[in-house]
């Protein structure tokens, strides 16, 4: 079964995250055993992105959401290693600025949407406005509860303009998150990532799970699907997401454009210059 079908949340389906095993690795027994598959997908992704850039008729938006330590940064590093940076950029969304707060909550998102031929990876996204905003009661329920329909309409507009949208929830267990926090404490190169809020937010774990379930269930559509990716094993997370992006691009009917010049004329010019 294709990964895009295995991990996709069907429109109208109610997600129960407790029923999804975050340690799932399919038939792969270890990172070492999966290396060949990972490298194969990376090579495919590299070639497909080049073709996607040349085709120039579509854009690709990849949204990454998940709890702290879920692997958003790691996923981005993996993708950038397999892509040409000329056609790919990363946008991080944190607390809105004063200017952004003066507009509707989707204004800053639209500014960052990818142009045709380009890939944009969102590290967090417009879904923060139905996640952290909901969990911490930053706006009234009447406000955030209306945003699901606004998000669906916004994404539909992007797709109508030629965008492909893939949204990934990086699903880790509470136990694995604590283990990754300890790694940060013990690794001097990662200690800069530590903040007081990391541990405080764990107190809201169940509230976040409920918020994610609603966001994924209500906003996984045929044109902009959500995928729940088991992410306790970083290597499988990378494999699964890369495979889904590859499968999506393979089905997107991307192709090399026809030359915009008279090739025979260019060849004649080349031969004349060579003989001069």
Phi-psi region of 164 (alpha: psi -120 to 50; beta: other; left: phi over 0): beta
Instruction: Name the token pair of 248.
Output: 């999506």
Summarised one tens digit per residue, pLDDT across range 20-41 is 999 999 999 999 999 999 999 9
Main-chain dihedrals φ then ψ at residue 130, nearest 5 degrees: -125, 15
Q: How far apart are alpha carbons 25 and 51 in whole angstroms?
A: 30
Q: How many independent structural domains does the chain possess?
A: 1
Domain range spanning residue 93? 3-275
> What pLDDT, on the 0 to 100 scale, is given for residue 262?
64
Higher pLDDT, 258 or 27: 27
Summarised one tens digit per residue, pLDDT across range 96-137 is 888 988 999 999 999 999 999 999 999 999 999 999 999 999
Distance of alpha carbon 30 from the chain centroid:
24
Q: What is the largest CA-CA distance in the chain?
A: 77
Three-state DSSP state, 91: strand
Residue 72 has pLDDT above 70, yes or no: yes
Q: How far apart are alpha carbons 194 and 185 in whole angstroms?
A: 8
Terminal CA-CA length for the chain = 59
Confidence of residue 257 (pLDDT cuts 50, 70, 90): confident
Buried b or exposed e, range 196-223, using 16+ CB within 10 angstroms: eebeebeeeeeebbebbbbbbbbbbbee
Q: Are 107 and 101 in contact (CB under 8 A)?
A: no
Helix (H) or strand (E) holding 204: none
Three-state DSSP state, 195: coil
Residue 175 has pLDDT above 90, yes or no: yes
Residue 274 has pLDDT above 80, yes or no: no
| CATH code, 74 | 3.40.50.300
Main-chain dihedrals φ then ψ at residue 231, nearest 5 degrees: -130, 15
Q: How far apart are alpha carbons 243 and 265 in whole angstroms?
A: 42
> What pLDDT, on the 0 to 100 scale, is given for residue 96?
85
């Amino acid at each position: 079964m294709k990964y895009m079908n295995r991990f996709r949340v069907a429109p109208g389906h109610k997600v129960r995250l407790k029923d999804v095993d975050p340690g799932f690795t399919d038939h792969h027994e270890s990172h070492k055993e999966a290396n060949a598959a990972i490298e194969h997908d990376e090579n495919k992704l590299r070639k497909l992105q080049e073709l996607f850039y040349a085709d120039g008729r579509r854009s690709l938006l990849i949204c990454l959401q998940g709890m702290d330590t879920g692997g958003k940064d790691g996923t981005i590093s993996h993708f950038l290693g397999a892509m040409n940076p000329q056609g790919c950029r990363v946008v991080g969304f944190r607390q809105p600025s004063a200017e952004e707060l003066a507009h509707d909550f989707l204004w800053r998102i639209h500014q960052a949407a990818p142009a045709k031929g380009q890939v944009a990876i969102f590290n967090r996204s417009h879904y923060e406005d139905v996640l952290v905003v909901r969990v911490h009661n930053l706006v009234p329920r009447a406000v955030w509860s209306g945003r699901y329909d606004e998000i669906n309409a916004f994404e539909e507009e992007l797709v109508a303009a030629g965008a492909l949208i893939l949204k990934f929830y990086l699903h880790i267990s509470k136990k694995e998150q604590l283990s990754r926090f300890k790694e940060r404490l013990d690794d001097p190169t990662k200690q800069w990532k530590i903040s007081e809020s990391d541990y405080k937010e764990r107190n809201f774990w169940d509230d976040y799970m409920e918020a994610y379930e609603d966001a994924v269930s209500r906003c996984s559509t045929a044109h902009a699907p959500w995928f729940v990716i088991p992410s306790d094993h970083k290597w499988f997370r990378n494999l699964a997401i890369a495979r889904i992006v590859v499968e999506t691009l393979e089905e997107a009917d991307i192709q090399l454009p026809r030359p915009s010049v008279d090739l025979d004329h260019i060849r004649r010019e080349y031969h004349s210059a060579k003989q001069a």
